[in-house]
Amino acid sequence: MSVHSNVKRVTTHVLQEMKQKGEKIAMLTAYDFSMARIYDAAKIDVILVGDSASNVMAGHETTLPITLDQMIYHASSVIRGVKRALVVVDLPFGTYQGNSRKALDSAIRIMKESGAHAVKLEGGSEIKESIVRILSAGIPVMGHLGLTPQSIYKFGTYQVRAKEEAEAAKLIEDAMMLQEIGCFAMVLEKIPAHLATKVSQKLDIPTIGIGAGSGADGQVLVSHDLLGITKDFSPRFLRRYLSLYEEIKGAVEQYIQDVRDVDFPNEKEQY
Ligand code: KIV
């Protein structure tokens, strides 16, 4: 229970218990106060302030350009809308790779300046030192394996990862390592369903899948994809629950028409 409200907060321990009880975890991205408030009211378990903000909020082609300051801005806006969900924030590209001191400084800035509850980092053995150092400061860490969009220029494509035996074996090894050093959960992105199931069964900590089948302990989607605000992105794993692009466009077209026809505002809509 939080000191400031009587809402029972989702913590990393709650997620652990959910896995033990076989209850699936629902996670969704959010980048601003208004949407975070709606998702929290709907009782989403985890809100991820993803670096996908670089794509869906800022219009960049990749997640690489977003900065630590921009992530902190998004995260602090989200935090103000949340009473219940666990809020996890992506460490952006260039703020943790290859320098564990810098990684710790970046994570501390996120926690201190946004009020978030945990951070997420992409990668396995190559970033182990950074994760260990962040964990040693008492900051909960969510891992992220499989397709790691910050490495897009190394992979060359956004295709399914770990289809080959060697890459699958490395992923399993990395997953075990992340658990061993103390991560509380991990995202498994775009890997074969049978591999995600195997990893999830091997681990005691929860896995959250995206394009990884139903065997993961939870699911995450980019909220703009789920809501149909993005239009030209339709991977097989995506289920759209709304077509907001069309609905918002229709509403705006109607508003423009009403203004031009002097239909808006009417007599009741003025003083
Ligand atoms: O940035 C993001 O939205 C993510 C999810 C796709 C897991 O990392």
CATH number for the domain spanning 119: value is 3.20.20.60
Pick the catalytic residue from 61, 129, 189, 253: 189
Q: What does the pLDDT average to over 182-196?
A: 98
Q: What does the pLDDT average to over 252-270?
A: 98
- Is residue 90 in contact with ligand 1, taking CB distance under 6 Å? yes
Sign of CA dihedral 203, 207, 209, 215: positive
Is residue 6 predicted with pLDDT exceeding 90?
no
For tokens 């460490």, the residue is: 91
Q: How many domains does the chain have?
A: 2
Q: What does the pLDDT average to over 115-128?
A: 98
Are 169 and 185 in the same domain?
Answer: yes
Task: Calculate the CA 138 to chain-centre distance.
Answer: 21
Q: What does the pLDDT average to over 139-162?
A: 96
Q: Which residues is 90 bridged to in the sheet?
A: 120
Are 173 and 263 in the same domain?
Answer: no
Classify residue 261 by burial, with Cβ atoms within 10 Å: 0-12, 13-18, 19+. exposed
Question: Rounded distance, CA 86 to CA 39, Å?
Answer: 12
Question: Rounded distance, CA 159 to CA 189, Å?
Answer: 10
DSSP H or E segment with residue 225: helix 223-226
Percentage, residues of the chain above pLDDT 90 = 96
Classify residue 214 by burial, with Cβ atoms within 10 Å: 0-12, 13-18, 19+. exposed
pLDDT at 4: 60
- Is residue 210 in contact with ligand 1, taking CB distance under 6 Å? yes
Residue 25 is classified by DSSP as E
**What single-letter amino acid sits at 36?**
A
pLDDT band for position 154 (cuts 50, 70, 90): very high
Are 235 and 162 in the same domain?
Answer: yes
Q: What does the pLDDT average to over 102-112?
A: 98
- Is residue 187 in contact with ligand 1, taking CB distance under 6 Å? yes
Are 52 and 97 in the same domain?
Answer: yes
Is residue 114 predicted with pLDDT exceeding 80?
yes
Per the CB < 8 A criterion, the answer to whether 131 and 122 are in contact is: no
Are 143 and 181 in the same domain?
Answer: yes
Are 127 and 204 in the same domain?
Answer: yes
- State which residues form the domain around 13: 3-240
pLDDT band for position 3 (cuts 50, 70, 90): low
pLDDT, tens digit, 9 for 90 and up, residues 66-90: 999 999 999 999 999 999 999 999 9
Are 182 and 254 in the same domain?
Answer: no
Is residue 2 predicted with pLDDT exceeding 60?
no
Q: What does the pLDDT average to over 245-269?
A: 98
pLDDT band for position 236 (cuts 50, 70, 90): very high
Test site for ligand 1: of 28, 87, 90, 223, most ligand atoms within 8 A of the Cβ: 90
Are 21 and 142 in the same domain?
Answer: yes
Q: Ligand 1 centre from 178 Cα, in Å?
A: 18
Are 97 and 56 in the same domain?
Answer: yes
Residue 5 is classified by DSSP as -
pLDDT band for position 1 (cuts 50, 70, 90): very low
Are 132 and 256 in the same domain?
Answer: no
- Is residue 127 in contact with ligand 1, taking CB distance under 6 Å? no
Enter the tokens of residue 133.
């150092």
**Average confidence score pLDDT of the chain:** 97
189 is catalytic: yes
Ligand 1 atom with the shortest distance to the CA of 222: 3
Question: Rounded distance, CA 237 to CA 256, Å?
Answer: 36
Question: Rounded distance, CA 118 to CA 142, Å?
Answer: 7
Is residue 214 predicted with pLDDT exceeding 90?
yes
